[in-house]
Amino acid sequence: MIDNAKISLEFPVTDVAVISLHEPVKSVNILSREVLAAFAEFLDQCERRPGLAGLVIRSTKPGNFIAGADLREFVAGIDEADAKTSKFCRQGQELFARLSRAPFVTVAAIGGLCLGGGSELSVWCDRRIMARDERTSLGFPEVKLGLFPGWGGTARTPRIVGLSNAVELISSGENIGTAAAEAMGLAIGAPADRLLESAIALVRSEQQSREYLRDRVRWSGPISISETELAFLGATASASIQGETKGHYPAPLAALEVMLGAAGVDVTTACQMEADGFALLFGSPVNRSLLNVFFLQDANKKRTSGAGQHPRKIESVAVVGAGVMGQGIAAANLKRRIPVALGDTSAEAVARGVQGVVTEVSYNKATRAADPQRAFEYLPLLNGTQSDSEIAAADLVIEAIYENADAKRGLYARLEPLLGEDTILASNTSTIPITELAHGLAHPERFCGLHFFNPVRRMQLVEVIRGRQTSDDTIATVVAHARAIGKSPIVVKDGPGFLVNRVLLPYMNEALLLLEEGVPIKSVERGATSFGMPMGPIELYDTVGLDVALHAGSVMRQAFPDRVRESRILPAMVAAGRLGQKSGQGFFDYPPGNKDRAKPQPSDAAQQIIQSCLTPQPTAPSPLSPPQLTERLLLPMLLEATRILEEGIVGDVREVDLALIYGIGFPPFKGGLFFWADTLGASKIVEKLKQFESLGERFRPTKLALEYAQSGNEFYQS
C-alpha cells in the first residue's frame, strides 16, 4: 500500500488497484494540487503494473466522495491572463483523460457527495457505480460560482448521457441521486455497504464483455444528433435558462453554447472549446461575486460563537406557539431526529400544529408527496401538548408566539420556574430587543434570541441574539444547535430589528414613500428586481403580511424616529382588511389558483387606497430614472448596515453580507451588500447620496461611509 495523508494506492486483489481518498482534517475530500500530483503518480504506477485488470477510485470518508477542486488554490490565479486559465483547464483535462485511455477498466465508486471536479473525474472513468442511499448524489455546481465545468465535464458528460440530459445537469447546477443517475445511463446503483466489492465485480464483468472499449470509441467522437434536434434543444434550453436566471447569471447560457458548439467535434476539440470558454468566465464580476458568497458560507460553517469552547448538546427541544413559524422550527429539529414538544393554548391549535409538522417532515422529494412510512418514523418523536411541565422538560425551549412583549414576558414568567438548571429559553422574536424581553427573568443568562426566518424549511439563516446578560455558554450552545439542524447561525448583539430586519426596514420604508410620491407600483418593483432582488418590496410586503410589517415598522420607528418615516399607506391597507397573501388581498390580489402560491394580480382597490394617501407636492417632481429608483431603495439599506457596524451589532461586513443573502435574498451575483458597495467605491456612494440629501437624515452619509470615502479603503478591508 502506497499512502500519503490524503490519498492512497493499494491492491486488495492482485489485478485490481484501488485509489482511496481520505482527507484527514477537512470535512470533505478536495482535489488540491497535492492530491492531483499524487493521483498522477498513482496512475503512472498502475500503468506500469503488468496484468492489471482495473482501477477503482473511491473515498473512505463517510458521506463524501469528492467535493471538487480546492477553490482557495484555484482563485489564487484569478487575476491571471485568459491563456493561463485555459492552460490550467487543459492540464486537468489531460490528467483525467488518462482514465479513459488506461490499459485497464477504470471505475469511480461513489459513496456520498460527488461534486464539481469529483464529478468530472468520475465521468472520465469507464464506469461509475453509486451507492443506493440518501447521502449519495452527483452534480456539477460550477454555474453557481459563475463558471461551468473546466476539466472535461461539458465535453465528456453529453457523450455518456446524451446532450439533453447533460445540458439540464450542467446548466442547472443541481445534484441528482443514484436513481436519477441510473435512469439517464450515467451510473450503476449498488448497496452502500458493498460498494467496493460491486466495483471490483464490475471490473471483472467489463473485462469479459469488453463493452467499455466500445464505449471509449463512441465517447471520443462527435455526438449523434441532427441539426434540427440541435437547434430545437438550443432554443428550448436557452428560453428555460433565461427564464430561470433573468439574465443575471451568464454561466448556464455559456455552458449551453459550449456544449451545443462542441456536439459535432471529437472530445479533444470539445475539451479545448471548454477550456477557452471557461477562461472567459473566470474572474468576471459575477464569478468574483459568487466566489465571495461561497467563501462567506464556508467561513460561517467554521466560525465559532467566540464564546464558550464546549457547547452543550441539545437532546430535546420544545416550541411554544404552533403557528406557521412554530411548525417550521419544530420540523427543522424533528428532521434531525431531535424529540420535540409542540405547545399552544388550545387543543385545536396544537392539533393543527402537529398536522403541519407531520406533513412537512413526511414529504418525500422523490415522489413529491407525503410518505406514510416517514410519518410513522417521526411521529414518536413529536409531542403535541398544552402542558407547561412537558414543555419545560426540554433542553431548549423556543418561544414562537405573536410579537407582543407583554404576552411573551407573561409566558416566560409561567415557564421559567419549571425549567431545569441548564435549560435555555429562547425567543423567535423578529424585532423586540432581547434585553427588554429578559426583564423579570430569574436567569437572563440562559435567555437569548433565536430568530428563524420564514419559511423555515428553505431559509438557512438563524440570528442568534445576545442579550445584555446572556452568557457565553448559552450563545455557544445555541450556535452549535443551529448548525446541528442544518442552519447557518450569525451571532448579533441586541437591538431593535437585530441585523436583517433593521437593514431591511429602510428599503421597505422607502418603497412606501415612493408610492406616496406617486411612483407606480410597477416602477418601484422594477427598481428592485432589475438589481436582482428575488421580488419587489411591494410584493414582499404582501408575502410578510401587512399587519406584521405595520407592527415591525412601529417598533423600528420608535427606536429610530430620525430616519424612519411613517407611511399612511400601510395603516390604511390594514384597516381595509388587506393583509397580503394570507388574506388573498394586499397591494396585489391573489385569486385562488392551482398552485400553492397564486400569482399576484394588480388591484384597483389597493390603487385607490394608495391614491388617497399621496403626499401633496409643492411642485411637480422630476420623474426618477430607473437607476435612481434602485438607488433610492438600496442606499438607505447600505447606510443602515454601516450604522450596525459602527454600533458593533456585528463585527464583520462579511456577516452582514451573508445574513442578507440568506435572510432577504440579496442577489448572490452581487456578492453581498458590502461586496457590491466595494465594486462602486465608498466615494462614489457618497457622491450618489448628494442627489437625495433633501430627503433628510436617512440619506445622510454615516461617519463610517465618509471615512472610507476619504481613505479610499474598501469595506472588505475592515
Cell numbers placing 274: 471548454
In whole angstroms, how far apart are CA 530 and each of 109, 225, 483, 562, 638? 44, 38, 33, 30, 18
Parts of the chain belonging to CATH 3.40.50.720: 317-496
Average pLDDT of 77-103? 91
CB proximity list for 459: less than 8 A, separation 6 or greater: 452, 453, 662, 663
Q: What is the pLDDT of residues 536-558, one digit of tens each?
A: 999 999 999 999 999 889 988 99
Phi, psi of 671 (to 5 degrees): 85, -10
- pLDDT band for 308, please (50, 70, 90 cuts): low
Q: For residue 478, is pLDDT > 80?
A: yes
Fold that domain 317-496 belongs to in CATH: Rossmann fold (3.40.50)
589 pairs with which residues across the strands? Answer: 585, 601
pLDDT at res. 325: 95
Mutual angle of helices 626-647 and 653-664, in 10-degree steps: 130
Q: Above pLDDT 90, what percent of the chain?
A: 87
- pLDDT band for 324, please (50, 70, 90 cuts): very high
Q: For residue 488, is pLDDT > 70?
A: yes
Please provide the average confidence, as pLDDT, over all residues in the chain. Answer: 94
- pLDDT band for 157, please (50, 70, 90 cuts): very high
- pLDDT band for 309, please (50, 70, 90 cuts): low
Q: Which helix or strand (DSSP H or E) is residue 609 part of?
A: helix 604-612
pLDDT at res. 374: 86
CB 509 within 8 A of CB 555: no
Q: Which helix or strand (DSSP H or E) is residue 97 part of?
A: helix 82-97
- 340: buried, middle or exposed (CB in 10 Å: 19+, 13-18, 0-12)? buried
Q: What is the pLDDT of residues 8-65, one digit of tens each?
A: 999 999 999 999 999 998 889 999 999 999 999 999 999 999 999 999 999 999 999 9
Specify the amino acid at residue 666: F
- pLDDT band for 620, please (50, 70, 90 cuts): low
Report the catalytic residues: 451
CB 6 within 8 A of CB 35: yes
pLDDT at res. 616: 81
The CATH code for residues 2-278 is: 3.90.226.10
Closest Cα partner for 133 from 111, 114, 115? 111
Closest Cα partner for 471 from 318, 710, 306? 306
Parts of the chain belonging to CATH 1.10.1040.50: 501-636
Fold that domain 501-636 belongs to in CATH: N-(1-d-carboxylethyl)-l-norvaline Dehydrogenase; domain 2 (1.10.1040)
- As a dihedral over the C-alpha atoms of residue 161, residue 165, residue 167, residue 168, rounded to 10 degrees, the angle is -140
CB 589 within 8 A of CB 600: yes
- pLDDT band for 74, please (50, 70, 90 cuts): confident
Average pLDDT of 174-187? 96
Q: What is the pLDDT of residues 599-614, one digit of tens each?
A: 899 999 999 999 999 9
Distance (Å, whole) CA 297 – CA 305: 15
Q: For residue 675, is pLDDT > 60?
A: yes
pLDDT at res. 303: 76
The region of weakest confidence among 24-38, 461-475, 614-628, 660-674 is 614-628
Q: Above pLDDT 70, what percent of the chain?
A: 97
Parts of the chain belonging to CATH 3.90.226.10: 2-278
- As a dihedral over the C-alpha atoms of residue 704, residue 433, residue 502, residue 679, rounded to 10 degrees, the angle is 40
The length of the chain is 718
Average pLDDT of 85-112? 96
Distance (Å, whole) CA 514 – CA 505: 14
DSSP state letter for 184: T
Closest Cα partner for 666 from 464, 478, 523, 499? 499
pLDDT at res. 305: 56
| Alpha helix segments (H runs only) across 188-226 | 195-209, 211-220
Q: For residue 81, is pLDDT > 80?
A: no
